[in-house]
Amino acid sequence: MRFLITGGAGFIGSHLAEELLVRGHRVHVLDDLSTGSIDNVRHLKDDPRFSYTIETCASTSIVAELVDDADIVYHLAAAVGVDLIVESPVRTIETNVHCTEVVLAQAAKKRKPVFVASTSEVYGKSTQFPFHEDGDLVMGASTTGRWSYACSKAIDEFLALAYWKERKLPTVVARLFNTVGPRQTGRYGMVVPKFVSQALGERPLTVFGDGTQTRCFCHVEDVVQALVDLMLLGNEAYGQVFNIGSQEEISILGLAERVRALAGSDSEIHVIPYAEAYEEGFEDMPRRYPDIAKIQRAVAWAPTRSLDEILGDVISFQQAEAAVV
């Protein structure tokens, strides 16, 4: 089959491209390299079943042509990373909403199934643990910049589900919880690559807030298995929302200690208030814990890698990168 991946030169998109090629499919990547990088897909360029276009997915004519050539579309292109969201809210909102509109509209003309990547961020301040797909989404005030990301992704979800309901376009929405692994950059604030590079560089690990907030980190290679299986499932997945994430929970302070130990680092751990780390009035989620029963039932998916294995992989990746520089 032929797959189009918007945002395919990004961290998750490049791993997805790799997995689809391994399973014998053809892959075309559309990416404007705003946060993605050609380095992420360089190793795929010699594969005759792999091709790419460097362009924005806001371009209707390009998306129309590429959707035409594809059997299934993965829409992963988005503005991601809390740092980017806080610094560039206009870009975040416009990219996330407009690109999804373009992709869905073009896919609808040809009835091409579309996967829309959403995020656990949409659960916002909900305290209904574990987060279930049918649970409430609890947003903060529009004057607090962070919520623009959650709201823009929630709009993407509504739009994808509306296309299914009203226009019979097969769409699948997945809410990705914290996804980590090799090739993720710490440039946009993601905590695992940041802590690893701080630990390997013997710089202080920067724990924001009081460090008691928890997250569940899932290996990107586990996540992309779920992404592929869901789209190959077909009918049963269409018009549905699925959580994808790990249930191994750790506090951010605990994570800093674990990274430091696994990296054999003597770095100090610095605890920094949110207002200093992001901006005044910044709101963080104290906990993010998914219910993954739905995806387990649908495609028998569960994470296979422990947090220690994940951190070990990220450490080895960054060590190898440093060795070639």
| Residues acting as catalytic residues | 149
Q: Could you tell me which of 136, 146, 53, 154 has the C-alpha nearest to residue 96?
A: 154
Q: Which stretch binds ligand UDP (CB under 6 A): 28-36, 54-62, 125-133, 207-215?
A: 207-215
Burial of 27 by CB count in 10 Å (0-12 exposed, 13-18 middle, 19+ buried)?
buried
Q: Does 126 bind ligand UDP (CB under 6 A)?
A: no
Q: Does 251 bind ligand UDP (CB under 6 A)?
A: no
The residue among 28 and 153 lying less far from ligand UDP, judged by its C-beta, is 153
CB of 180 to ligand UDP, least distance (A): 8
Give CA–CA dist 28/52, Å, rounded: 5
Burial of 126 by CB count in 10 Å (0-12 exposed, 13-18 middle, 19+ buried)?
middle
Q: Does 122 bind ligand UDP (CB under 6 A)?
A: no
Interacting positions 69-98 with ligand UDP (CB under 6 A): 82
Determine how β-strand 218-219 pairs with β-strand 179-180: parallel
**Which of 175, 215, 260, 294 forms a contact with ligand UDP (CB under 6 A)?**
215
Own/partner long-range contacts of 127-131 (Cβ < 8 Å, ≥24 apart): 129/287, 129/289, 130/247, 130/289, 130/290, 130/291, 131/243, 131/288, 131/289, 131/290, 131/291
The residue among 15 and 146 lying less far from ligand UDP, judged by its C-beta, is 146
Q: Could you tell me which of 323, 314, 325, 80 has the C-alpha nearest to residue 197?
A: 314
Give CA–CA dist 248/180, Å, rounded: 13
Q: Does 189 bind ligand UDP (CB under 6 A)?
A: yes
Q: Which stretch binds ligand UDP (CB under 6 A): 18-26, 36-44, 202-210, 257-265?
A: 202-210
Q: Which stretch binds ligand UDP (CB under 6 A): 9-17, 99-107, 165-173, 187-195?
A: 187-195
Q: Which stretch binds ligand UDP (CB under 6 A): 23-31, 32-40, 168-176, 190-198?
A: 190-198
Q: Does 145 bind ligand UDP (CB under 6 A)?
A: no
Q: Residue 319 pairs with which residues in a beta bridge? A: none
Interface ranges with ligand UDP (CB under 6 A): 82, 121, 178, 189-191, 194, 206-209, 213, 215, 252, 284
